[in-house]
């Protein structure tokens, strides 16, 4: 199976999952009403959306250069991580069963992508554009800080260091390696962006729980499953996850502050004053 076939398969599954989730959590009535807000929300958020797309494209282009730069200036912390937690991931894998492996493999690929894409769709249909802006800004902060960490810190995942730890994902679904090898590098384990982005989604879901109350517990369950899956599959250390969660919290809180008008700082207050002064002079 080629990379294109895998990508199409994932897109179809995620599209179906998002359609079902939109019907369940947003509801037919709010979907119909949300079509009136969709354009306004996209217009209000388009600078952040464009920045996110450009950042992801640039990240994919400079990924190899980032790895080379990391080897020049970065600190290899793999040994320190192993000294902290030892064989924890090996212990976690010792409890592996085929059903659990199938579940966490699906969660790592499908569940994670769904967890990140559904909030964008759901909040795009909301009558307030701020939740959508916060989601997009949160993703930008997560990826931006994560990229810096990947350059500064060299960290191999447990499957690359411990002989006893298996690459369960690739054993259970060999074709997935075509996808993950295109996106990730073996040295980009610390911190876990799966954990950080999942934590951010949960915080945003909780903050706007009045909008989609039934989504919050589902997002929490999926986020925990995603974090555990990264360790169970031998991709991340527990340390990667534990440091990823605070990163996700920081990104979500930072995005809220950026997207809140009264907290946008001196630049916006100064611009408002100049605008007001200009209005008075002209009138």
Per-residue pLDDT for 270 more than 70?
A: no
Per-residue pLDDT for 272 more than 50?
A: no
Per-residue pLDDT for 64 more than 90?
A: no
Per mean pLDDT, which of 75-79, 113-117, 148-152 is the most reliable?
Answer: 113-117
Q: Which among 206, 192, 204, 193 is positioned nearest to 255, based on CA atoms?
A: 204
Mean pLDDT within 182-196: 83
Sign of dihedral through CA atoms 158, 58, 125, 269? Answer: positive
| pLDDT tens digits for range 120-144 | 999 999 988 899 999 999 999 998 8
**Residue ranges with strand state E in 56-172:** 75-76, 153-154
**C-alpha separations of 146 from 37, 162, 233 in Å:** 32, 24, 21
Per-residue pLDDT for 246 more than 80?
A: yes
Cα angle value 197/200/206 (rounded, 5°)? 145
pLDDT value of residue 262 = 58
Assign 129 to helix, strand or coil. coil
pLDDT value of residue 261 = 63
Mean pLDDT within 65-70: 70
* Cβ atoms of residues 213 and 262 within 8 Å: no
pLDDT value of residue 197 = 97
Where are the domains positioned within the chain?
A: 3-282
Q: If you average pLDDT over every residue of the chain, what do you get?
A: 84
**C-alpha separations of 5 from 9, 19, 172, 239, 267 in Å:** 6, 21, 18, 34, 48
Per-residue pLDDT for 94 more than 50?
A: yes
Split at pLDDT 50, 70, 90, the class of 215 is very high
Radius of gyration of the chain (CA): 21
Between 41-55, 103-117, 222-236, the lowest mean confidence (pLDDT) is in: 41-55
Distance CA 73, CA 155 (A): 13
């Amino acid at each position: 199976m080629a990379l294109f076939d895998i990508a199409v398969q994932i897109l179809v599954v995620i599209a179906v999952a998002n359609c079902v989730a939109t019907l369940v959590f947003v509801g037919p009535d709010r979907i119909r009403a949300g079509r009136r807000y969709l354009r306004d929300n996209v217009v209000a958020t388009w600078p952040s959306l464009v920045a996110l797309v450009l950042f992801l494209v640039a990240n994919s282009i400079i990924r190899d250069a980032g790895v080379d730069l990391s080897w020049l200036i970065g600190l290899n912390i793999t040994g320190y991580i192993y000294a902290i937690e030892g064989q924890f991931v090996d212990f976690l894998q010792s409890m592996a069963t085929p059903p659990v492996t199938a579940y966490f493999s699906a969660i790592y690929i499908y569940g994670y992508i769904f967890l990140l894409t559904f909030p964008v769709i759901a909040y795009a249909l909301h009558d307030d554009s701020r939740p959508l802006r916060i989601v997009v800004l949160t993703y930008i902060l997560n990826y931006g800080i994560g990229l810096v960490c990947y350059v500064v810190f060299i960290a191999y995942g447990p499957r690359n260091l411990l002989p006893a730890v298996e690459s369960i994902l690739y054993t259970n679904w060999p074709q997935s390696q075509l996808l993950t090898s295109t996106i990730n590098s073996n040295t980009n384990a610390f911190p876990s962006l799966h954990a950080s982005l999942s934590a951010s989604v949960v915080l945003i879901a909780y903050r706007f729980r009045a909008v989609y109350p039934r989504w919050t517990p589902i997002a929490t369950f999926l986020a925990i499953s995603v974090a555990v899956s990264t360790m169970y599959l031998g991709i991340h250390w527990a340390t990667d996850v534990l440091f990823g969660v605070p990163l996700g919290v920081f990104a979500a809180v930072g995005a809220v502050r950026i997207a809140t008008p009264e907290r946008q700082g001196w630049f916006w207050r100064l611009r408002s004053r100049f605008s007001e002064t200009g209005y008075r002079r002209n009138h």
